[in-house]
Amino acid sequence: MKVIKHSFDGVIVGAGGAGLRAAIEAAPHMKLAVITKLYPTRSHTGAAQGGMSAALANVEEDNWNWHAFDTVKGSDYLADQPAVDILCKEAIDSVVELEHWGLPFSRLENGKIAQRRFGGHTVKEGEAPAFRACYAADRTGHMILQTLYQKCVSMGVTFFDEFQVLDIKIDDGVCKGVIAYEIATGDIPRMLIHSLVTVLEFYIKKEYLLKIWNFINSTLLEYIDSEYCCLRLPVEKVVF
């Protein structure tokens, strides 16, 4: 077993849709690495089939406010409503952005991105089902991963595929590095970094913890020791 040292300005742990999109945003500003326990295009985002919702109004009249209404209602009114507004507003530009990066969406006869009914999406706040899901046949998630990954490669992002993160090095409340395990060889690279983004963990402010108390087991309290806390726990400790 060898211990190998690497140095980066930033490291992203996880290469699903969220991790790859974060890498695209950060790559122009820093020397960046992405650590993933799978090859990026095998991440679970690839299992999504139905589509991604955005009020493009390519098939019928639509509005992001109606999208927001459905999202909040679908959360049993537990969602952070300002966050939902941002999600639904920016979904439109995000879909167009993916199209410009090369995502092969299914098309209508007029050439626009095809949309279909899916889930609980409605128009006019519940009046009728909405044609809102933008899709790429039955492999939307797979196409999202392919598109984001090729964009990351074109931007020079460094990937550590099939590495398992073991621990995060914290000094005086500041993240200084990541310890990972190379699955194929057993080597342990140490990533010395200036910043860390992780899409596999929950980063929350203490004051917001009560808002999601029904979703988090009380055993997490022992992990809270600063204004911002990182809950590094296996999935089975989180109650959904």
Q: What three-state secondary structure class fits 154?
A: helix
Mean pLDDT of the chain: 81
0.85 exceeded by pTM: no
Mean pLDDT of 122-138: 94
Residues 184 and 212 in one domain: no
- CA 200, CA 176: separation in Å to the nearest integer? 18
Residues 26 and 1 in one domain: yes
Give me the domain span that covers residue 188: 1-44+154-197
- Is residue 143 a part of any domain in this protein? no
Indicate whether 193 and 226 sit together in one domain: no
pLDDT tens digits for range 21-51: 999 999 999 889 999 999 999 998 999 888 9
pLDDT at 165 > cutoff 90: no
The verdict on 188 and 211 lying in the same domain is no
The runs of H, that is alpha helices, within 75-178 are: 81-100, 140-154
Give backbone dihedrals phi and psi of 174, rounded to 5 degrees, phi first: -115, 135
Nearest to 235 by CA among 201, 186, 191, 198: 201
Residues 197-226: what's their mean pLDDT? 41
Does residue 14 share a domain with residue 60?
A: no
* Confidence band for 105, pLDDT divided at 50, 70 and 90: very high
Same domain assignment for residues 131 and 158: no
One domain, residues 32 and 57: no
Q: Evaluate if residue 74 carries a pLDDT over 80.
A: yes
Token digits of residue 168 = 């995060």
Q: What is the pLDDT of residues 64-73, one digit of tens each?
A: 999 999 999 9
In a domain, 144, yes or no: no
CA–CA separation, 62 vs 37, rounded Å? 39
- Total tally of structural domains belonging to the chain: 3
Q: Specify whether the CB–CB gap between 35 and 160 falls below 8 A.
A: yes
pLDDT of res. 202: 36
CA-CA distance, 191 to 183, in Å (whole number)? 16
Per residue in 151-186, is it b (16+ CB within 10 Å) or e — as a string?
bbeeeebebbbbbebeebeeeeeebebbebbbeeee
CB of 122 closer than 8 Å to CB of 129: yes
Segment 143-162 mean pLDDT: 95
Q: CB within 8 A of 98, min separation 6: which ones?
A: 105, 144, 147
129 plus 105 within the same structural domain: yes
Q: Which residue has the tokens 């809102």?
A: 132
